[in-house]
Amino acid sequence: MTDLRFDWARRDRTGVAEAVLAEGKSGAQIRQAIVGAQTRQSSLLLTRLAAAPGEELAAEIGTAFDYDAVSRTAILDHGLLPTTPCDALIVTGGSSDLPVAREAQRTLRFHGLDVGLLADCGVAGLWRLTDHADRLRAAPAIIAVAGMEGALFPVVAGLTPALVIAVPSSVGYGVAVGGRAALSTALATCAPGVVTVNIDNGFGAACALIKILRPGAAPAHAS
Amino acid sequence: MTDLRFDWARRDRTGVAEAVLAEGKSGAQIRQAIVGAQTRQSSLLLTRLAAAPGEELAAEIGTAFDYDAVSRTAILDHGLLPTTPCDALIVTGGSSDLPVAREAQRTLRFHGLDVGLLADCGVAGLWRLTDHADRLRAAPAIIAVAGMEGALFPVVAGLTPALVIAVPSSVGYGVAVGGRAALSTALATCAPGVVTVNIDNGFGAACALIKILRPGAAPAHAS
Amino acid sequence: MTDLRFDWARRDRTGVAEAVLAEGKSGAQIRQAIVGAQTRQSSLLLTRLAAAPGEELAAEIGTAFDYDAVSRTAILDHGLLPTTPCDALIVTGGSSDLPVAREAQRTLRFHGLDVGLLADCGVAGLWRLTDHADRLRAAPAIIAVAGMEGALFPVVAGLTPALVIAVPSSVGYGVAVGGRAALSTALATCAPGVVTVNIDNGFGAACALIKILRPGAAPAHAS
Amino acid sequence: MTDLRFDWARRDRTGVAEAVLAEGKSGAQIRQAIVGAQTRQSSLLLTRLAAAPGEELAAEIGTAFDYDAVSRTAILDHGLLPTTPCDALIVTGGSSDLPVAREAQRTLRFHGLDVGLLADCGVAGLWRLTDHADRLRAAPAIIAVAGMEGALFPVVAGLTPALVIAVPSSVGYGVAVGGRAALSTALATCAPGVVTVNIDNGFGAACALIKILRPGAAPAHAS
Amino acid sequence: MTDLRFDWARRDRTGVAEAVLAEGKSGAQIRQAIVGAQTRQSSLLLTRLAAAPGEELAAEIGTAFDYDAVSRTAILDHGLLPTTPCDALIVTGGSSDLPVAREAQRTLRFHGLDVGLLADCGVAGLWRLTDHADRLRAAPAIIAVAGMEGALFPVVAGLTPALVIAVPSSVGYGVAVGGRAALSTALATCAPGVVTVNIDNGFGAACALIKILRPGAAPAHAS
Amino acid sequence: MTDLRFDWARRDRTGVAEAVLAEGKSGAQIRQAIVGAQTRQSSLLLTRLAAAPGEELAAEIGTAFDYDAVSRTAILDHGLLPTTPCDALIVTGGSSDLPVAREAQRTLRFHGLDVGLLADCGVAGLWRLTDHADRLRAAPAIIAVAGMEGALFPVVAGLTPALVIAVPSSVGYGVAVGGRAALSTALATCAPGVVTVNIDNGFGAACALIKILRPGAAPAHAS
Amino acid sequence: MTDLRFDWARRDRTGVAEAVLAEGKSGAQIRQAIVGAQTRQSSLLLTRLAAAPGEELAAEIGTAFDYDAVSRTAILDHGLLPTTPCDALIVTGGSSDLPVAREAQRTLRFHGLDVGLLADCGVAGLWRLTDHADRLRAAPAIIAVAGMEGALFPVVAGLTPALVIAVPSSVGYGVAVGGRAALSTALATCAPGVVTVNIDNGFGAACALIKILRPGAAPAHAS
Amino acid sequence: MTDLRFDWARRDRTGVAEAVLAEGKSGAQIRQAIVGAQTRQSSLLLTRLAAAPGEELAAEIGTAFDYDAVSRTAILDHGLLPTTPCDALIVTGGSSDLPVAREAQRTLRFHGLDVGLLADCGVAGLWRLTDHADRLRAAPAIIAVAGMEGALFPVVAGLTPALVIAVPSSVGYGVAVGGRAALSTALATCAPGVVTVNIDNGFGAACALIKILRPGAAPAHAS
């Protein structure tokens, strides 16, 4: 039975490739996707792949299957795009936000973009952000990852002309549980130039960044 | 007493000008902002300005004060930027979403961008969207405004390589009341390339679009 | 002690048989229901039966006890109704929705209806739905299962004259957690002809479909 | 400017006509829809039309515009379908649910179905329901409207083989405010054969009923 | 260190004894309470005591420690009150509600009341309730336990002159998760004579019943 | 048309009379209930009746119609029960809770019980409660009305052997808005002997009190 | 009838005087409190007093009744404490937060403290805060008032050794509606030294500040 | 890679040291922080450190690493401040609140303050609080920890002139789950002088207390 109907044309149609969200899928369904990619000689990105199956698949497939336990992402490599360095940035509030930040970073790399990551820039010590002021101002766009109260999002937006793509992370407890407080900060802020994606959705933030930076998105009023 | 400390340098620092959110401010505070702008010979955008004070100010100040009752925005004109046509688009799900869509459109115009608006493209009749397929595919970025269940957001994202900036609108009743259902659709969708702003925040969506299209945001990997 | 008072007459009274919701019941209570059915020579449907007791009971009872691990349903077979093919359809947004879809499919089969299942038809690639346009239009009624943002529900409803019975699934994370976002889409949509049941309630959707298709429900205004 | 793009083909495509949800639309937009219908010699249904514009339009257009203040619906009559009597039923929990029940009843009449309404059948006095037991059992499908705690939905479902389309109404206070308690009852009940639509959505319930009763929905396994 | 300051005088002051809510307490704290009771030759009720420590304590203390795994309650018996039969009743919607119902029953027994329990009386088959009509009408007060949508509460209240103490149980999934839907039914119903306690709080319902039935509560207007 | 089917037998069946919840009913529906009562020479209680119709009806019907603007209740008097003094009590946290407390008091009076009211006993000054300690301890049952955080409920319950029927009131702002904080206190408290009704439901609390005090509820174990 | 039992001894017992929360009280109840204060020659603070009664009372009582329309507070002056200047500060995010900030400022003045107010210090332009760095560092404690996303709270806390008493204001729309987003920021932040009070509770923040600054609160470990 | 950028200067800047919130951090990140502190000869506080890594680190580092399993805190001791006794108090509602109370107590000790803890003072038996009345009145400030309904907060505030820092704990079930009911009590109370921190945030409450008691916070108006 063919449960999985993969959208192999999505990259051509929308600029980003379909990825496999492993969470909620059975082992058989995940393997079906990998075999499909291998058959087409196509590279494949998997997200939210737990450690046990991830490492098992890496052992089985070998170096073509690059699993990263921090971000729980895997890249099946049938010839990735060469990476281009890029001034866009990923910024995180705390070190607990790294899994989400790395999901974004590895999604960007899968699409050929090499983007820097500034960790642990929470606003309780503003110097951790202002130390990076020049890079923040020079970036064409910024992915900001933060849990707890998410005050990182408006503060970064006030320091840069770049669009800030907020990724609320599920780090926190009490009223912050599951990322709700950080999400409401991203949405409620009056600091202009903040947009948001779902909680912990590093993949989605990377897709947005790719769409902003694609050649076709060159500014119509730039001439 | 000077309650209002306006951020006149915001446009230079972040690419978008500070606007006055009139809702929640007293008449005296609104006038203080207008006088401040007049003194500096500066143009000024006001959002969520109710009809009564909006029309009263228009009568008093004259043609330099352009009030639009549908979007409840006013533009104090001390020499606006010349507008540049631009292939970005604003798309709405229903005709009730027009106030929010026009807030975005007028904010873009205030910043010198002339962006088209496609109204009443709800997914219950897909032909209303697919009729515009070419324009959707050619747009560098799209602002989509929808209330009710907000299914417009993922459907548009599946049809275009452009980033979709979702603006949930507060149109709807029952579980949709206040825009919550449309907001959760914008965040929960797995269609890649959808980012969102707060409910009814046409101004914020426009700011995001301006930041994406600004010259400085030219793709680093485009060469 | 007789905790469980089974409603053996429910099928005659309401058209659908009472099923045993195994979740939350003790092993002793589940066995009590099975013994009751065996004594009456009655077939029995069990839902949300975990793998361990399900497989244990299958080993013990033998082929008369058909346990399906994907849907976590079991059918105790004391002579099921012969199945009738039927043009109704089950459609899912993603492959992670299959457990719920199969609960519906197996409930229908228990009541003598053989209904087809179209998996992985999410709206991010509309071709996955439009490929099936003829079957969608010919169906007397459709069960649609989707998690995440649930945009499948209104899009299907716009393509068919059939009633769409939405089953939000608990697939998703962040604001979609537990199926809430998909549920609010099913309720909030203005696409007419969408009704909904509880999150993950494949059983309930099947019961609704059975009631729609029963002879007694033949259209009074059809003559 | 043409804001409103009406889906005149919806009845042919999906079996129910597009209606105008007047709430949230400007007077100009409502008139635009009416003029469009008059030009096409097409009948038109408007829902959630407030008393002031409803009566003003009735005075202006005359007998062809039938406004009902209880349900806040209007029917522009350019030749309605002849009505067919039908054994389906509308049942309400309390007399405060009548506005919603009549929105359903008038939507059905607009589509040619004459359906009876049993008011004030709340479960606090079960005799109010059991008095109607024969009609409940004979109905091909039932629309049940209830606010407060909505216990009407499972109780009716236990008395009849018909599908119950629950319409939670926004009648109630405290935890029932806005219809939330009745909605959760409709979704959470384990009484099989209950489906639900959005709070106060009498129109949607009627659309669902029409789709169930349409000739094309004749039971495939009835022969 | 004496963390636990037990309110040994509570029974005299308020009519019900303080019980130990074991959940959230450490093993040392639970033992401290038991030793305190043993020292005072006082009986003691423990609720929400998990199976492992419950059975370990029973093995250690012997027959004076009566642990019931279904309700997760333990009674340390230093001479309980003689039980008095009583026409009050405990009624449950489904067999999954038994743990909560038995917590109530055992709390009543601890205070000297022997109260009957009618299980599996859900409203989807009204005969399961109406079979007991005489006992319901004769009861001085009724504890009703139900999860899912909780329609049992208003239906019982409509059949009896007794006060109905509703205990929403956490049985259910989707919108019923954690007992929220049943709780809102108990609060929102307009059937008079329903009061409610917290979700799964069988202990609290029993305390309320004890207070209603105590001699001091004899009706002032009964003479 | 007869929308309203009044449950005239409810008092005989359940011990409390059906009352008319005027909120949400049309003027015609309210008059229909009054005329029905007048025809039967029956007394009638109306709750949540706004000032304008309440005073208009009082002017029209005369002294037989007793409208109280504070509690928004009306009593149509066709011979009320003689009142019996009774030691039960109504206690309020603040003076803003009086409308709810008086709805309870007048409902009790309608059923022949004359119950005292202690206003403004909030816990921020405990002396306001302890001044009444003797009456609290002597009461067979207590209705406590409180908004804000509702700490009155557990504190009263700790001072008396009586059952405390909590009525959360919608007094408060911020997180207390609509009575939610007081409701959660009433449910979450571990002070035994607190039961609750819906927010602002003084009528329901009175019905519960009547059922507790009725002769038939005399304690079975009292002899 | 004496509904209102004023806690005249509260100032002696707890350090802050009881104030009258006018919202939700009838005109008669408010006058009763004023007369009580006049009789005792006591000053009185009223909060949330609407403009109409506030100005009416000012006209009637004269200069001893100081009503401030912005904060909706009134001070009945029977000899206030002499004011002491104090380095504590009130800081607001936007000019719409002034009503709440002034409620705090006037409550402090009523208790004899003259505290400065820095308005419009939102974090979207950090210079608005850092301009005041010296005063922030020198303050013994700071009241911060902010609506929208409330990022002001953690940013101020990172700049000062003072305790920050956050007052979320109900300024905002969408997810910020009613102050919920700002409240969750105040609670969720990991910036140490932020405590919070209820939304819009300027009075409560002032009471907290008074308690911190009272002589009795002098640091025990300071010697 | 240096993920963690520790704010070693925070104590000098804000009066409290940065602590490591271990929850959500990897073992490698926690070790990196400890090594950083050891290198600088700096003491370090870790919170929410699970038992397994806590005890492993204690075994490895030795007596300089003091892990407390109840509060899940660890103190790396490179010369702590000498402790000063202090009349401030920590009060808890129940013995289940001790983990949170001890997190506060150990944070205070880390900063040189030795603060007493009164456990099990829940309001259902007021004598448990009034026994301590003198200490409550003498305290410069009080940390109160309570789960369930949190009525401890307003009752303590009514008994003392001290500021009450409420810490809602996640102890409870049903509507109290996760600490929400206790949090809403802390925020909603009208008892003046209550401020709150996030659920279970004993660390944050201690930081607030430190800031209140620091020499710099001596009352400006005390002279």
Per residue in G4-61, pLDDT (tens digit) is 677 777 777 777 888 999 999 999 999 999 999 999 999 999 999 999 999 999 999 9
Strand order in the sheet with D141-146: C113-118, C84-92, C141-146, C163-168, C194-196, D194-196, D163-168, D141-146, D84-92, D113-118
The neighbours of chain C, by the rule of 3 or more Cβ pairs under 8 Å, are A, B, D, E
Confidence of residue B1 (pLDDT cuts 50, 70, 90): very low
**According to the model, what pLDDT value does residue D210 have?**
95
Interface residue E174 vs chain C (CB under 8 A):
yes
CB C34 within 8 A of CB C41: no
pLDDT of C69-87, one tens digit each?
999 999 999 888 888 889 9
Alpha carbons D205 and C206: distance in angstroms, whole number = 19
Is residue G34 situated within a structural domain?
A: yes
ipTM: 0.92
Percentage above 90 pLDDT, chain A: 73
Nearest in space to A114 (alpha carbons), one of A134, A153, A76, A88: A88
- E105 and E64 co-located in one domain: no
**According to the model, what pLDDT value does residue C197 have?**
98
**G42: buried, middle or exposed (CB in 10 Å: 19+, 13-18, 0-12)?**
middle
Among residues 191-210 of chain H, which lie with CB inside 8 Å of chain G?
192-199, 203-204, 207-208
**In the predicted structure, residue A122 carries a pLDDT above the cut 90:** no
Mutate to test the interface with F, among E136, E187, E223 (most CBs of F within 10 A): E187
- F55 and F100 co-located in one domain: no
Which of B48, B76, B104 terminates a domain? The answer is: B76
- G201 and G168 co-located in one domain: yes
**According to the model, what pLDDT value does residue F7 have?**
77
**According to the model, what pLDDT value does residue H63 have?**
92
Token reading at C183: 């549920």
Mutate to test the interface with A, among B14, B107, B200 (most CBs of A within 10 A): B14
Contact C185 B149 (CB under 8 A): yes
List b or e across A73-91, with b for residues whose CB sees 16 or more CB atoms inside 10 angstroms: bbbbeeeeeeebebbbbbb
Which of H43, H76, H109 terminates a domain? The answer is: H76
Confidence of residue C219 (pLDDT cuts 50, 70, 90): very low
Q: What is the mean pLDDT of residues G138-149?
A: 96
Contact F179 D174 (CB under 8 A): yes
Nearest in space to B197 (alpha carbons), one of B169, B171, B222: B169
Mutate to test the interface with F, among G1, G3, G6, G8 (most CBs of F within 10 A): G3
Residue H14 or D184, more confident? D184
**According to the model, what pLDDT value does residue C4 have?**
67
CA distance D6 to chain E (A): 35
pLDDT of H56-70, one tens digit each?
999 999 999 999 999
pLDDT of B77-97, one tens digit each?
988 888 888 999 999 999 899
**In the predicted structure, residue C113 carries a pLDDT above the cut 90:** yes
Q: Where are the beta strands (DSSP E) in chain E?
A: 20-21, 44-47, 65-68, 73-76, 84-92, 113-118, 141-146, 163-168, 194-196
Q: Which residues of chain F have pLDDT under 70?
A: 1-4, 215-223
Percentage above 90 pLDDT, chain G: 73
pLDDT of C128-155, one tens digit each?
888 899 999 999 999 999 999 999 999 9
Interface residue D85 vs chain C (CB under 8 A):
yes
**According to the model, what pLDDT value does residue G121 have?**
87
Is residue G219 situated within a structural domain?
A: no
Token reading at A200: 């912990």
**According to the model, what pLDDT value does residue C218 have?**
38
Hey, which residues does H143 pair with through a beta bridge?
Answer: H90, H165
The residue of chain G nearest to residue A125, with distances taken between CA atoms, is G158
- E strand or H helix at G164: strand G163-168
Residue A82 or H179, more confident? H179
| A185 closest CB neighbour out of G125, G159, G181 | G181
Token reading at C107: 């409930």
CA distance D171 to chain F (A): 7
Among residues 99-118 of chain B, which lie with CB inside 8 Å of chain G?
none
Percentage above 70 pLDDT, chain E: 94
Strand order in the sheet with C73-76: C20-21, C44-47, C73-76, C65-68
CA distance H142 to chain A (A): 21
Q: Which residues of G touch H213 (CB under 8 A)?
A: 219-222
Interface residue D85 vs chain F (CB under 8 A):
no
Is residue B221 situated within a structural domain?
A: no
**According to the model, what pLDDT value does residue G120 have?**
85
Is residue H31 situated within a structural domain?
A: yes
**According to the model, what pLDDT value does residue F215 have?**
60
Nearest in space to C47 (alpha carbons), one of E106, E173, G205: E173
The residue of chain E nearest to residue C48, with distances taken between CA atoms, is E173
Cα distances (Å, whole numbers) of residue E188 to A93, F102, F176, F200? 43, 20, 19, 11
**In the predicted structure, residue C23 carries a pLDDT above the cut 70:** yes
Q: Which residues of G touch H170 (CB under 8 A)?
A: none
The neighbours of chain A, by the rule of 3 or more Cβ pairs under 8 Å, are B, C, G, H
**In the predicted structure, residue E128 carries a pLDDT above the cut 70:** yes
- E159 and E55 co-located in one domain: no
Alpha carbons A35 and A27: distance in angstroms, whole number = 12
How far is residue G9 CA from its own chain's centroid? 21
Contact A185 G149 (CB under 8 A): yes
Alpha carbons A51 and A61: distance in angstroms, whole number = 15
Half-sphere CA count of F103, side-chain side, radius 13 A: 25
Is residue B218 situated within a structural domain?
A: no
CA distance B46 to chain A (A): 14
Residues 6 or more apart whose CB falls under 8 angstroms from that of E186 comprise D149, E150, E153, E166, E168, E194, E196
Contact H95 E178 (CB under 8 A): no
Interface residue B68 vs chain D (CB under 8 A):
no
CA distance F17 to chain G (A): 30
DSSP B178: G
Provide the domain count of chain A.
2
How does the average pLDDT of chain E come out, rounded? Answer: 90
Structural domain span for residue G195: 84-213
**In the predicted structure, residue C222 carries a pLDDT above the cut 50:** no
Alpha carbons D171 and G215: distance in angstroms, whole number = 54
- H116 and H197 co-located in one domain: yes
Q: What is the mean pLDDT of residues B137-166?
A: 95
Cα first-last separation, chain B: 53
How far is residue F112 CA from its own chain's centroid? 13
The residue of chain F nearest to residue H174, with distances taken between CA atoms, is F188
- A111 and A194 co-located in one domain: yes
CA distance D103 to chain C (A): 14
CATH number at residue A144: 3.40.50.1970
Mutate to test the interface with G, among H187, H203, H209 (most CBs of G within 10 A): H187
Q: Where are the beta strands (DSSP E) in chain F?
A: 20-21, 44-47, 65-68, 73-76, 84-92, 113-118, 141-146, 163-168, 194-196
DSSP C222: -
**According to the model, what pLDDT value does residue A174 have?**
96
Confidence of residue C62 (pLDDT cuts 50, 70, 90): very high
**According to the model, what pLDDT value does residue G117 have?**
96
Contact H124 E10 (CB under 8 A): yes
CB C172 within 8 A of CB C180: no
Token reading at E217: 């509560």
Mutate to test the interface with F, among H170, H190, H196 (most CBs of F within 10 A): H190
Contact C25 E125 (CB under 8 A): no
**According to the model, what pLDDT value does residue D160 have?**
92
**According to the model, what pLDDT value does residue H3 have?**
57
Interface residue G32 vs chain A (CB under 8 A):
no
pLDDT of G205-216, one tens digit each?
999 999 999 764
- G130 and G195 co-located in one domain: yes
Is residue F41 situated within a structural domain?
A: yes
- D17 and D34 co-located in one domain: yes
Confidence of residue B221 (pLDDT cuts 50, 70, 90): very low
Contact F197 E195 (CB under 8 A): yes
Alpha carbons E50 and E72: distance in angstroms, whole number = 6
**In the predicted structure, residue A180 carries a pLDDT above the cut 90:** yes
Percentage above 90 pLDDT, chain H: 74
- Most confident by average pLDDT, E5-19, H19-33, H115-129: H19-33
Is residue E131 situated within a structural domain?
A: yes
Cα radius of gyration (chain C): 18
How does the average pLDDT of chain A come out, rounded? Answer: 90
**According to the model, what pLDDT value does residue G3 have?**
57
Residues 6 or more apart whose CB falls under 8 angstroms from that of G39 comprise none
Which of B25, B48, B76 terminates a domain? The answer is: B76
- C51 and C122 co-located in one domain: no
Interface residue F180 vs chain G (CB under 8 A):
no
Residue B222 or D194, more confident? D194
CA distance E35 to chain F (A): 23
- H98 and H149 co-located in one domain: yes
Token reading at F161: 């052997």
- C90 and C58 co-located in one domain: no
Q: Which residues of E touch D158 (CB under 8 A)?
A: 123-126
DSSP B90: E
How does the average pLDDT of chain C come out, rounded? Answer: 90
**According to the model, what pLDDT value does residue G220 have?**
34
pLDDT of E63-87, one tens digit each?
999 999 999 999 999 888 888 889 9
**According to the model, what pLDDT value does residue B16 have?**
83
Alpha helices (H) along C64-161:
98-110, 127-130, 133-138, 152-159
Alpha carbons E7 and E40: distance in angstroms, whole number = 13
Alpha carbons G132 and G121: distance in angstroms, whole number = 9
**According to the model, what pLDDT value does residue F220 have?**
34
pLDDT of E140-186, one tens digit each?
999 999 999 999 999 999 989 999 999 999 999 999 999 999 999 99
- E104 and E71 co-located in one domain: no
Strand order in the sheet with G65-68: G20-21, G44-47, G73-76, G65-68
Q: Token match 């209806």: residue?
A: C113
Q: What is the mean pLDDT of residues D16-35?
A: 91
| G219 closest CB neighbour out of H13, H165, H218 | H218
